[in-house]
A and B are shown apart, each in its own frame.
Chain A
Amino acid sequence: DSGVTQTPKHLITATGQRVTLRCSPRSGDLSVYWYQQSLDQGLQFLIQYYNGEERAKGNILERFSAQQFPDLHSELNLSSLELGDSALYFCASSVVSGSNTGELFFGEGSRLTVL
């Protein structure tokens, strides 16, 4: 158990819909990262937050947005869903950020299927 909790574990929805994925980082971790992993693909970085503020942005679509709340949990919102958005979405957390980045602890992932 990494200490990072993601919900839901599985989600099936239709094209055009909107979903919210939730992540609770390990106790004490200030950084939260979101990654997208399509079938047999690598880990595509979406966005990072540090202590409530956006710290880095990857190839995140405009239809996607995220935030980190004062209690440090994070939510990833995916809207106007398309078939190609079907993927495993991982959240990861770490204690620090930037040049002191250390081990990322990954959650079990949220598997999104868009029909």
Chain B
Amino acid sequence: GENVEQHPSTLSVQEGDSAVIKCTYSDSASNYFPWYKQELGKRPQLIIDIRSNVGEKKDQRIAVTLNKTAKHFSLHITETQPEDSAVYFCAATGANNLFFGTGTRLTVIP
């Protein structure tokens, strides 16, 4: 089945700096790659997603890039703000399911 690896597990940045989270996947048939943000005690919520026919997608301060050949995709957050502090999960489709990475705890230091 699909195996999604996510790095780093924790990330601290100064407010205003950029943050990058990277994921790799194993199933070359995967075609949908969402990113979810989970604030403490809350449910995961989709922040951005990308399909395999697109290499990059941007939404304001958030962008996702996909390299199908290397089977990796990344989340980029620019001009980070304290409210960006949360756990971020990447995911990839495979076998009728969405497989999640292990999460990255992002802390933005004011």
Q: Which residues of A contact B (CB under 8 A)?
A: 2, 33, 35, 41-43, 45, 48, 50, 55-56, 58, 90, 97-99, 101-104, 106-109
Contacts and interface: CB of A to CB of B under 8 A. Distances in A.
Contacts of A106: 43-45
Contacts, number: 56
Contacts of A99: 29, 31, 93
A109 B98 CA distance: 18
A45 B100 contact: yes
Interface string B74-95: 0000000000000001000101
Interface residues of B, number: 21
Interface in B15-44: 29, 31-32, 34, 42-44
Contacts of A45: 97-100
Contact of A58 (B44, B45, B97, B102): B97
A100 to B, nearest CB: 8
Interface of B: 29, 31-32, 34, 42-46, 49, 89, 93, 95-103
Contacts of B100: 35, 42-43, 45
In order of increasing CB-CB distance, the 10 nearest A-B pairs are: A106-B43, A42-B102, A56-B96, A56-B97, A43-B100, A55-B96, A101-B93, A42-B103, A98-B96, A103-B46
A86 B13 CA distance: 32
